[in-house]
Structure 1
Amino acid sequence: MRYFVVFLFVLVCSSTFAQNDTIAKTLKGTVIQNDTRLPMGGVHVINATKVTGTITTPSGLFEIVAQVNDTLLFSFLGFETIKVKVTNDWVKENPTKIYLSEKSYVLDEVTVYKYNLTGFIQVDTKLIPVASDSYRYNITGLQAGYEVGDKSPGAVSKVLGSIFNPADFLYNVFGKRPKEMKKLKEMKKDDTVRNLLSTKFDRETLATLLEISKDDIPLILENCNYSEYFIKTANDLQIMDAINACYEEYKVLKKR
C-alpha cells in the first residue's frame, strides 16, 4: 500500500509538471546590443508559434505571452534576426537577456552603365530602360486577379490552366499545407507582425511564421501566377498578402 501511495504521488506530480509546460505565461526580458551591451528599444519580438508580437521599450524591456517550445523571433533593422526556443528554464527563471549582433554586409560588384542624358524628362525616360509591366487577369467569382508577365494569349492560358488544374494548383500549393495556411489569418490580425513584415525582404521571418521552407515561397507565388518581378521586389508583407489572396481563391474554387 505504501508503494502504491508513493507511485500515485509521483504520477500526480509528473502530470502537474506536464500541465505547467502547456500553460501560456507572460515572459519578460531585455534585448541588448551585443557589442555595446546597451539596451535596444524598438526591437520586434514575435511569437512565431502563436503569431503575436510586441516591441521593446526604450529600455529594451519586453513582455510576451508564450509557453514551453514556442519559437520567439527578435528582429531589428541592420541586426541579425535570431530565433529562440522557449525552455522550462526561461519560464522558471523569468526574466532573461537576449543579445543582438549587427549584420555584416558583403557588397557585390556593381557595374555602372552610362546613359547620354539630355536633361529633358520626356527624352531621358525613353533612353533609360524600364522593367516590363506585369498584368493581372480578373476572373468573375474570384476575389482577386492573377498576375502574369505579359498580355499574350499564352499568358492568359497559363492562368486558366493553373486555376482549373486541381492537381497542380489546388492540392500541391495549399492542400498539403492546411496548418500553415491557417496561420495567415492570425498574421493579418496582429499589427506588430504586419509592421515587421513590411520592413523585411529576406523571406526568412515569413517562412518561420508559416512554418515552411524559404525556398517554398517563390514556388507558391509562381503557382499563383505572380510575376518574377513581383516575387523578387515585394516586401514580406506584400508577399504574405499575395499568398493569402491566392489561398482565399483556392478555398472558393474548392467549395465549387
Structure 2
Amino acid sequence: MKNYFLPLFLIFVSFGYSQDEKNEQEVKQLKAVVLNAQTDQPMESVHVVNLNEVVGTITNEKGEFNIPAKVNDTLYITFLGFKSQKVRVTNDMFKFKETKISLTELAYALEEVIVRPYSLTGYLEIDVKNLPLNNAFQYSISGLSVGYEAGSKNPSAVTKVLGAILNPADLLRNLFGKKPNQMRKLRQMKEDDQIRDLLASKFDRETLTELLQLEKVDIEDILNNCNYSKSFITTANDLQILDAISSCYEEYKVLNRKK
C-alpha cells in the first residue's frame, strides 16, 4: 500500500509547489509606505516606478502608494534631495502589507559659481558678435514630423543627418536588438503619465538608465549617432531624451522599410 500512496503524495506536493510558483508570478497590487530615514515621517509625492512592469505612481500625504507588482520585481523609488533606492519585491511584502521603505537625505556641497556678465556697448552690431551662439542647427526631412540637429550649417551636415538615418543604425540595433524588451519599455514609458512626469523633472539620466538597463554613455552614443547636438544631450530633461531616442529609432525603422 505504501507504494500506492507515495506517488500520490508526490503529485500533491508537486501541484502545491507549482501553485505557489504561479501565485508568485501573478501581478497584484502592492501597498507600502515611504518614510524619511532621518525623521521617520511619511513622505508625500515620492515617485515609485516598477522597472519590470514599467508603471509608476506617487505616494499620498501619508506616504502610502499602491502599484501593480509581482514577486522579484524591482521598485525604483526617487525623490529630489534624497538618495534613490531600488527595492526587490518579496512574497512577504504582499502577505504582511506593512512594508516601510526609508529614503536617506542627500548632503549637498554647493560649489562657488562665478557669474560673468556680458559687456554690452549698446551697439547692436558689436553686441551680437560678443554674445555666445548655439552652433547646433535643425534640419527637416520631408515626410518626417521632427527635425534633426547637426553641428554646423553646411552641406556636409545635411549629409551626416541623412546618413545616420538611412544607413544601418548599428549602435541602435546592437543595443536594442540584443534587448528586444527595451523598445517595448520605451513605448510603455511614454504612455505612463506618472513616469513621464518623473522624467520631465529629472536631468541626471538616472531613471532612464534603470528603466532601459543602459549606461549613460550608451544613451549619449545613441543620441550622437542620431545627430543630436551636444547642447541638447547635456541640457535636455530625461523625458526629452526618452522622446529623442524613441523618435530616432522609430523613424529609422520606417525609412529602413522603404528601402
Tell me whether the two structures share a fold, i.e. TM-score over 0.5. Answer: yes
Residues in 1 aligned to 2:178 and 2:11: alpha-carbon distance in whole angstroms = 43
In structure 1, what is the equivalent of residue 93 of structure 2? 90
Q: Distance in 1 between matches of 2:163 and 2:82?
A: 43
Structure 2 unaligned residues grouped into runs of 5+:
none
User: What is the Cα deviation at residue 185 of structure 1?
Assistant: 1.3
Residue correspondence of structure 1 range 1-256 to structure 2 within 5 A: 1-108=4-111, 110-113=113-116, 115-117=118-120, 126=128, 129-166=131-168, 168=170, 171-172=173-174, 174-256=176-258
Q: Once the 2 structures are TM-superposed, how far is the Cα of residue 235 of structure 1 from its aligned partner? A: 0.5
Deviation at 1:163, TM superposition (A): 1.8
Partner SS, residue 53 of structure 2: coil
Partner-residue secondary structure (3-state), 2:216? coil
Code of the residue aligned with 2:96 in structure 1: it is: E
Post-superposition offset of 1:127: 7.3
Distance 1:170 1:212, change over 3 A: closer
Distance 1:245 1:207 in 2: 18
Q: Is the 8 A contact 1:115 1:127 kept in 2?
A: no
Q: What is the rounded CA distance, in whole Å, between the counterparts of 1:115 and 1:164 in structure 2? A: 42
Structure-2 separation of matches of 1:105 and 1:44: 21
C-alpha displacement at 1:48, in angstroms?
Answer: 1.6
Q: Write the distance in 2 (CA, Å) between the matches of 1:43 and 1:155.
A: 43
1:170/1:250 contact within 8 Å kept = no
Change (3 A) 1:4 1:63: same
Q: CA RMSD in A?
A: 2.2
Q: How many angstroms apart in 1 are the aligned matches of 2:171 and 2:6?
A: 61
User: Are the equivalent residues in 1 in contact too, given 2:48–2:58 (CA < 8 A)?
Assistant: yes
Rate the CA distance shift 1:124–1:190 in 2: closer, same or farther, 3 A.
farther
d(CA) in 2 for partners of 1:177, 1:142: 26
**1:205, distance to aligned residue in structure 2 (A):** 0.3
Q: Which deviates further from its counterpart, 242-251 or 225-234? A: 242-251
- 2: CA distance, partners of 1:80 / 1:192: 19
Counterpart Cα distance in 1 of 2:102 and 2:92: 17
Indicate how the Cα distance of structure 1 residues 237 and 229 shifts in structure 2: closer, same or farther if over 3 A, else same.
same
Q: Structure 1 135/169 Cα, relative in aligned 2: closer, same or farther at 3 Å? A: farther
The Cα offsets for residues 198-243 of structure 1, whole Å up to 9 and x where unpaired, read as 1111101011112222321111111111001100000001101111
CA distance in 2, matches of 1:38, 1:138: 51
Identity of aligned residues (%): 51
Moved over 6 A (4+): none
CA change 1:126–1:85 in 2 (3 A) is: same
SS at match of 1:146: strand
